Amino acid sequence: MNDNPFENENDIHTDFKEKMTYGDYLQLDQLLNSQRRLSDHHDEMLFIIIHHVSELWLKLIIHETKGAIAAIEQNNLRASFKMLSRVSKIQSQIINGWDVLSTLTPAEYMEFRDKLGNASGFQSYQYRLVEFVLGYKAPHILKIYQNDPEIYRILEDAYHKPGLYDVAIQALARHGFTIDEEVLNRDFSKTYEKNASVERAWMNVYHNAPAYWELYELAEKLVDIEDWFQQWRFRHMKTVERIIGHKTGTGGSSGVGYLKQVLDHYFFPELWELRTKI
């Protein structure tokens, strides 16, 4: 038995003088040089990498959700299912990240927390973009980014566009369900509020799933995403509580207090309320 299987691979490329490498394609020099500690403390690297990884996953969630929105708008629900399923898988990965960050003790975090200044995950514009594409539009949030024109433009654009649930409701209307005009023509810069006509439509879908299978599957994909999002919020809150207790956040929020307040927010309220009524 050959202890060096590499020797049997005669066609493996080894000369990359004029060829693109794995590192070139992924721009690893730039990526791996982005983790720059502001202190000499060993555990700051953990803190930075966890947040970098989360931001990369958020970028992919935004990419997939926007793709799903476009597919639903084109009445191609089946194409959206793959993307929405992928979003759920990504969410599970982000949640696992809290388990890694939880290995950071309060004493260890305090060794470098002051280096953050007023920087906080509360300011993550990609997280806010995820909220916007899912339909949660809080006007005060935009103020955080008023000094960064490019990010402000990106967020403001998403702020005024229909979110994932809006296009799902429009799909209900295209399939013949009666949806109130005030919902179909609503101001998309406002956070969606539950509506009786939307609940009746979804209830009909659930009671007649074989006849409306694609809409039924779409609804369950949305519930999956909301379920994972709420788990993410909970793990975020408990991780913060575990590391800093009830201290004020570096960004000025009430920390755990703020995170507890948002636990009960629903992006797709009718899809949860109908479960009690079926």
Q: Which residues, including other chains, have CB under 8 Å from residue 75's CB and lie 6 or more apart?
A: 171, 174
| Half-sphere exposure at residue 57, Cβ-oriented, CA atoms within 13 angstroms | 19
Work out the burial of residue 143: count CB atoms within 10 Å of its CB; fewer than 13 is exposed, 13-18 middle, 19 or more buried. Answer: exposed
Annotated binding-site residue? 47: yes
Q: What is the dihedral of CA 214, 217, 218, 224, to 10 degrees?
A: -170
What is the rounded distance in angstroms from the CA atom of residue 39 to the CA atom of residue 41?
5
Annotated binding-site residue? 69: no
Annotated binding-site residue? 250: yes
Annotated binding-site residue? 236: yes
- In the chain, the largest separation of any two C-alpha atoms, in whole Å, equals 73
| CA 231 from centre of chain | 12
Nearest of 100, 104, 117, 121 to residue 55 by alpha carbon: 121
What is the rounded distance in angstroms from the CA atom of residue 146 to the CA atom of residue 101?
30
Annotated binding-site residue? 109: yes
Q: Which residue has the tokens 């080894």?
A: 14
Residues in the annotated binding site for heme: 236
Binding residues: 47-51, 109, 113, 236, 250
Q: Specify binding-site residues for substrate.
A: 47-51, 109, 113, 250
